[in-house]
Structure 1
C-alpha cells in the first residue's frame, strides 16, 4: 500500500488535528498485510471512525479503488483535512462531522477502521471536540473504544471486517471477550513496540 501524499498540509494545521504518527502507519501496515484478503472481499463501503488527517482511510481508498470510502471525526477541522487529503490523492471520499458512527444506518459498512484515543486519562478529559479527542481515552484508555464496540454489530455488514488499534494498557483480551460476546472472531494482525508503548492491530470478523 502506498502512503498518501500529505504535502498539502501545513505544519500549523497539526495544532488542531492529530498528526500521523507511528500508530497511524502501524494501522496502514496491518491493512497492507491483510490486503489480499480485503481485495478478495471486494468491499463496497469502507469507514474510518476518527480519521484525523485522513492518511489511513486515504491509503485504503488508494488500495481499493472500487470501494467508496467514508470517514467520521468529532473534530470538524479533522473532517476538512481528511477530505483534502483524499482529494489530493485522488480518492473518492466523504467525511462527516460525527461522534463515532452514531448516525449511520445499520449493517452498512463492509470494512470499519478505528485508531481510537487510547491514552489512559481521567474520564473528564474525554468527550471534547478538539485535538484532545484524538488521544484522551479515559479509564483503561478504552472509554471511547468501548462505545464503538457496542455499535459494531449494528454498523458492520454481516460479513464485514473491523480493524482496531490498541495498546497493552487497553487490555486487549477484554476487547476480544467483548467482541466474542457479539459473535465475532478475532485475529492479531501486527504488534510492535514503539518506545515504551506496545501497539497492536486486531481484526474482528464472523
Structure 2
C-alpha cells in the first residue's frame, strides 16, 4: 500500500480556506494506486492536476512515479490552495509547480497534446448556478464543492478541454458522483472526442455514490 502523503504541516487555519482531504480524495488516491503499475510503465513526462487543493493528490502521484522524471503541474483558482500545494509537495519531497488559475486556461497552448496524466476532482455538488458562479469568483473554499446545475457546471468546461490536453498515451482521471450522470459523461467523451473510459472504482460514502473514471484515447 502506498502511504497517504504527509499533511501534518497544514493547520486548522489552512483548512478554513482549502478543502481538507475527504472520501472523494481517498477514492481518487485508491484509483490511482490501482493503476500504479500502468502509470509507472508509461513513464509519463507531464502530470497536471486541476484544482489541487491541499496538494495531497499530486504528491501521491509523485510517490508513485518518483520526483525526478515527471513534471508535476497543478492549477487552482484559490491562492491559498496553491500555497498549500507547494508546501505539501515540499513536505513530501515532490517538486510541484502550482499555478493560480482557473482550470487549464493559461496552459492550453503550451500543453496541447502533451499531458500524460490529467487529474480532476471537481466541485461536483449540485447547487444553484449563481452559487457556483459566486464560488468561482470568490476563489475560496466553496469553489471546491459548489458544482452548479447537476454538479456539472465546472466539469463541463474542462471536459471540452481534455482532448486538447491529453498526449497520445495520456490518461484522464475524473471524480464524479451519481447525480452527475456518469454514463452520460462517458458517452459524451466517446461520441464527441473518441475517448474510451472505464470506471476504475466506485464507492458509497455517507450520502454520496462516488466514482473514479479513467479516460484514454
TM-score > 0.5, shorter chain as reference: yes
From 63, 71, 80, give the equivalent of 2:74: 71
Which residue is 2:122 aligned to? 116
Which residue is 1:2 aligned to? 3
Inter-partner Cα distance in structure 1 for 2:194 and 2:129? 29
From 175, 179, 189, give the equivalent of 2:185: 175
> What count of residue pairs does the alignment treat as equivalent?
206
Contact 1:2 1:63 in 2 (8 A): no
Q: TM-score, normalised by structure 2?
A: 0.93
Which residue is 1:188 aligned to? 199
Q: Deviations over 1:83-104 (max 9, x none)?
A: 0000010001100001000111
Which residue is 1:153 aligned to? 163
Which residue is 1:58 aligned to? 59
Offset at residue 108 of structure 1 (A): 2.1
Larger mean CA deviation between 122-131 and 24-33 belongs to 122-131
Which residue is 2:83 aligned to? 80
Instruction: Check if 1:162 corresponds to 2:172.
Output: yes
Runs ≥4 residues deviating over 6 A: none
Inter-partner Cα distance in structure 2 for 1:18 and 1:73? 11
Offset at residue 2 of structure 1 (A): 2.0
Instruction: Check if 1:27 corresponds to 2:38.
Output: no
Listed as ranges, the gaps of 5+ residues in structure 1 are none
Listed as ranges, the gaps of 5+ residues in structure 2 are none
Over the aligned positions, Cα root-mean-square deviation in angstroms equals: 0.8
